Amino acid sequence: MHDTGTVSSSAPAPDLGELPAAQGQDGAPSPRGGDTHGSDRHARRFGLPVATCLVMGNIIGGGIFLLPASVAPFGTISLVAFAVLTAGAICLALVFGRLASRDPRTGGPYVYARAAFGDFAGFLAAWSYWITTWVSNAALAVAAVGYLDVLIPVADHKWSACLAALTLQLFPALANFAGTRYVGAVQLVATVLKFLPLLLVAFGGLFFFDSANLGPFQAGDESPVGAVSASAAILLFSYLGVESAAVSAGEVRDPRRNVGRATVLGTLGAALVYLLGTLAVFGTVAHDKLVASTAPFSDAVNVMFGGSWGGTAVALAALVSMVGALNGWTLLSAQTPYAAARDGLFPSAFARKRRGVPTVGVLVTVVLASLLTVYNYTAGSAGVFEVLVLVTTFTATVPYLLATAAQIYFLASGQGERVHRGRLVRDAVLAALAFGFSMWLVAGAGYAAVYQGVLFLFVGVLVYAWMAARKQRTATR
């Protein structure tokens, strides 16, 4: 909408119809959004509810079930850190919404970085995000085995635990191979099932709230700023996944409208569960017990209803939560390489779709994550797997930095939409805050993770050189 009295940019952003036409497998241009679904009954675009569940499900994995105990040593000042992080995550969500409105194609940060800074920046976004997804899938599966062991003893033997982790990765992969229709159904069911017990504690716990359980506002010897920063370092990565709807924009109905809404609603929903859940656990479990707890939500349920069934209930909820996260992350792991492959920056096999899903990307992700899972159980070197997972906390933020920098570039270069000056200033402030939040994520990853993450990126530079050379040879034939 254009108001009178607006300031116009010198080069307004082109309509999607003016963007280079995306090519399908047969070389024909794809429709708006850059992805074809055809009449395949197994391929179905996500509506707003499913897109929102994708965001919420990917943000909230199994970590929430340990978060209250993780930050309890800092005191209730950790809730301040939660509030600050929530504000940063919402700024990032709003920026992704604006970027998706500008260019609603599958690929998210890859698409935005490439549009702003060219092929190399786009490839770095795609490469780093891809590494994050398949390493995170292996980590989720291994962590899920710990919760599965509460229900079915499998952790006593190394190979039974390994087989369980591989099986937990296989089921979400099968849902992806079946098509986006089934991916959306699994995501919706998993999100509802895992949020029922979380909301029970988050809201039900308020009725059992006892301020005497809260403990000190600041439990450590740090300054208030130091305490907030220290607790934030633990919580920083609780919001990874805000980009989920943007990465799958090509699978979302009316992406210009729904991607932004799903991103913000999903982030707000996750934030509400995080904040209320942590506050409820703080108020129902005595502080000294919470600090030493290995299952804080279980302890809260036991306080609320008595008995010792809380551990089983929370283990089941955590397992559902992780399977839902695996389902969503498996799809995302294939979407970014799919977008890059269509532009000649990833092997062409990644651009093949079946039933709305890039099946080769899903298959490669499952194979790599499975190999890493087996390595975790056979290496026998303590801490190796944890180091690899820590690296992903850095690689996940590289696309965030590039995407927010792209938004700043679009606004500063006059490629934004023709809007009222106030909206232009608002978008610029949001982009700057989101960029600062992304830098904070990088800092929170730690020196070792940044150092090793950069090595992963440099391996990608070699891959880019090979793919760019092939692309150039093809263009000059």
Q: Collapse the DSSP code of 381 into the 3-class scheme (helix H, G, I; strand E, B; otherwise coil) and give the result.
A: coil
Asked if 252 and 49 touch (Cβ cutoff 8 Å), the reply is no
Q: Which residue did the predictor score with more confidence, 298 or 348?
A: 348
What is the average per-residue pLDDT within 119-134?
A: 89
Does residue 16 register a pLDDT over 60? Answer: no
Does residue 404 register a pLDDT over 90? Answer: yes
Give the C-alpha separation, 392 to 397, whole Å. Answer: 8
The lowest-confidence range among 24-38, 128-142, 194-208 is: 24-38
Give the C-alpha separation, 111 to 115, whole Å. Answer: 6
Measured CA to CA in angstroms, residue 215 lies from 76, 235, 285, 354, 453 at distances of 7, 20, 10, 54, 38
What is the average per-residue pLDDT within 393-409?
A: 89
Neighbouring CB atoms inside 10 A of 45's CB total 21
Cβ neighbours for 26, distance < 8 A, ≥ 6 positions apart: none
β partners of residue 395: none
Give residue 380's pLDDT.
60
For tokens 């006593």, the residue is 156
The lowest-confidence range among 11-20, 193-202, 216-225 is: 11-20
In the chain, the amino acid numbered 303 is V
Asked if 247 and 338 touch (Cβ cutoff 8 Å), the reply is no
Backbone angles phi, psi at 252, to 5 degrees: -100, 135
Give residue 45's pLDDT.
65
Give residue 215's pLDDT.
74
Asked if 404 and 121 touch (Cβ cutoff 8 Å), the reply is no
Identify the CA nearest to 183 among candidates 35, 38, 57: 57
β partners of residue 354: 357
Return the structure tokens found at 307. Answer: 């008995």
**Buried-state track 373-395, b at ≥16 Cβ within 10 A, e below 16:** bbebbeeeeeeebeebbbbbbbb
In the chain, the amino acid numbered 317 is A
Identify the CA nearest to 50 among candidates 165, 181, 143: 181
Banded model confidence at residue 14, pLDDT cuts 50, 70, 90: very low
Give residue 113's pLDDT.
92
Question: Nearest 5°: CA angle at 96, between 399 and 127?
Answer: 20
Identify the CA nearest to 290 among candidates 59, 60, 78, 62: 78
What is the average per-residue pLDDT within 394-404?
A: 89
Give residue 187's pLDDT.
67
The lowest-confidence range among 139-143, 294-298, 338-342 is: 294-298
Does residue 313 register a pLDDT over 50? Answer: yes
Give residue 250's pLDDT.
72
H-state helical runs in 13-108: 48-59, 67-71, 78-102
Give residue 286's pLDDT.
85
Q: Which residue did the predictor score with more confidence, 142 or 185?
A: 142
pLDDT in tens, 179-205: 666 666 776 777 777 777 777 777 877
pLDDT in tens, 229-259: 777 767 776 777 788 777 777 777 777 888 8
Measured CA to CA in angstroms, residue 429 lies from 13, 88, 415, 425 at distances of 19, 12, 16, 6
- pLDDT more than 70, % of the chain: 81
Cβ neighbours for 275, distance < 8 A, ≥ 6 positions apart: 79, 82, 83, 86
Give residue 334's pLDDT.
82
What is the average per-residue pLDDT within 451-477?
A: 84
Does residue 350 register a pLDDT over 50? Answer: yes
H-state helical runs in 253-305: 255-284, 287-291, 296-305
Asked if 258 and 248 touch (Cβ cutoff 8 Å), the reply is no
Asked if 217 and 74 touch (Cβ cutoff 8 Å), the reply is no
Backbone angles phi, psi at 467, to 5 degrees: -70, -40
CATH class, 39-468 region: mainly alpha
Question: Nearest 5°: CA angle at 209, between 206 and 210?
Answer: 165
Banded model confidence at residue 323, pLDDT cuts 50, 70, 90: confident
Does residue 53 register a pLDDT over 50? Answer: yes
What is the average per-residue pLDDT within 112-129?
A: 91
Identify the CA nearest to 116 among candidates 396, 381, 411: 411
Q: Among 111-115, 257-261, 277-281, which range has the highest average pLDDT?
A: 111-115
Does residue 26 register a pLDDT over 50? Answer: no
Return the structure tokens found at 15. Answer: 């309509």
Give the C-alpha separation, 312 to 320, whole Å. Answer: 12
In the chain, the amino acid numbered 39 is S
Asked if 69 and 294 touch (Cβ cutoff 8 Å), the reply is yes
Give the C-alpha separation, 318 to 139, whole Å. Answer: 14
pTM for the predicted model, two decimal places: 0.75
Does residue 85 register a pLDDT over 90? Answer: no
What is the average per-residue pLDDT within 435-458?
A: 83
Identify the CA nearest to 132 among candidates 362, 456, 447, 401: 456
Neighbouring C-alpha atoms within 13 Å toward the C-beta of 257: 6
Asked if 165 and 141 touch (Cβ cutoff 8 Å), the reply is yes
Asked if 245 and 54 touch (Cβ cutoff 8 Å), the reply is yes
Give residue 4's pLDDT.
34
β partners of residue 357: 354
